[in-house]
Amino acid sequence: MERFTKDPMVCEIGGVKFAGQPGDYPTVCCFSIFQESDKLFDKGSRRKGFNEERAKELLETADRFSKETGVPVMADIVASPGEKFNKYVDFVTSVSEMPFCIDAIMMKTKLDGAAYCAEKGLLDRMFYNSITVWEQDVITEVKEMAQIGVKHALLVAFDQNDQTPKGRIAGTQKLLDAIETAGLKLESIIVDTTTLNAPANALCGIANRLIKEKWGFATGSAPSNGSYMELKRFKETFGFKGWAGFDAAVEALSAFYYNDLIFTGPMAGAPRVIPSVALADAFLATAVFDKTQALPKDPNHPLVKLFSGFADQLKVAWDKPSDLKQL
């Protein structure tokens, strides 16, 4: 795994550091909660409220796996059109200290959610999801974000009309131009080069590498889009365990391939996804070590946390090349 000639930016949201050079920091897993089909709602009904006990269990489980593996987690808080984020943000922040994003289809819903986070003093812990290529009035949106004081934002650079890596570069530039025109000053920019197709997530990795080379931004994608699109077909063919293996694999492959943050699907999948990403991060850091003889900068990195004996061996092997035979 090659490093970049110029160090990419390191982001910090809610105390979580990520991005930078490959292998320095673990991949962030951002799990959705309160999305339309979430089983937290009784038979899909959002008006009756959500199962708070189950929601707490999901958040605490994700936190526990994060602490045990070193893989940082964030919550992708989803609100439907016409809803307010208030109750969801209040609940997540009362149960967990993990950073989060506000995620909605409608611009007004997102902006109202960002304004609520500003009112609650949560802008250091929140990122805006998202500024998109297809938004018709993106300048208005970005200007309002500036007025609110949004500090961290996701830019979705995927363009349906040009799905090549170069198309994602052009989409990123379009959004950066809007940000500059609107005068929005961001501390963190994460470029999402996502796709709805699992194998095509390889193109996201290629685009992410190009984005890092050109601008140095943090990069991400949503590999879970690809796996959950195949849920019905793969369950019918291979059963749930077969599909679960497919999902864990696409998350891990994406974590290895130039993704600093990945959207990993419903939070119920945390026990499956987090260990797979932890291994991918350890795999990546080991590959980087072969080139640089440097261990991760994050002392809580999965390579160090889960494979401490092996990490110690790597350091010894560099000092004494003959010890490589023992690895």
**Which band of pLDDT confidence, cut at 50, 70 and 90, is reported for residue 324?**
low
- Residue 158 Cα distances to 23, 136, 191, 204, 216, angstroms: 25, 15, 10, 9, 18
User: pLDDT at residue 230 above 80?
Assistant: yes
User: pLDDT at residue 21 above 70?
Assistant: yes
Is the bond preceding 322 in cis, omega lying within 30 degrees of 0?
Answer: no
Whether 277 maps to a domain, the answer reads no
Query: What φ, ψ does residue 26 adopt, rounded to 5°?
Result: -70, 165
Whether 325 maps to a domain, the answer reads no
Whether 200 maps to a domain, the answer reads yes
pLDDT, residue 164, reads: 87
Alpha helices in 70-222 (DSSP H): 86-95, 107-119, 138-148, 165-182, 201-214
Whether 72 maps to a domain, the answer reads yes
User: pLDDT at residue 257 above 90?
Assistant: yes
How many distinct structural domains can be found in the chain?
A: 1
**Which band of pLDDT confidence, cut at 50, 70 and 90, is reported for residue 48?**
confident
Averaged pLDDT of the chain: 94
116-168, pLDDT tens digit by residue? 999 999 999 999 999 999 999 999 999 999 999 999 999 999 877 888 898 99
Whether 282 maps to a domain, the answer reads no
State how far the Cα of 26 lies from the Cα of 180, in Å rounded to an integer. 30
State how far the Cα of 222 lies from the Cα of 197, in Å rounded to an integer. 10
**Which band of pLDDT confidence, cut at 50, 70 and 90, is reported for residue 327?**
low
Residue 114, token pair as written in the block: 């960002």
Whether 318 maps to a domain, the answer reads no
pLDDT, residue 37, reads: 82
Query: What φ, ψ does residue 100 adopt, rounded to 5°?
Result: -155, 165
State how far the Cα of 130 lies from the Cα of 138, in Å rounded to an integer. 11
Whether 236 maps to a domain, the answer reads yes
pLDDT, residue 27, reads: 98
Q: Which of 106-110, 162-166, 176-180 has the lowest mean pLDDT?
A: 162-166
Of 16, 17, 11, 6, the C-alpha closest to 154 is 11
Residue 288, token pair as written in the block: 């980087």
| 3-class state of residue 196 by DSSP | coil
The CATH number for 234's domain is 3.20.20.20
Percent of residues, the chain, with pLDDT higher than 70: 97
pLDDT, residue 44, reads: 58
Which structural domain range is residue 39 located in? 10-272
Q: Cβ distance 186 to 152 under 8 Å? A: yes
Q: How far apart are the first and last CA of the chain?
A: 19
Whether 63 maps to a domain, the answer reads yes
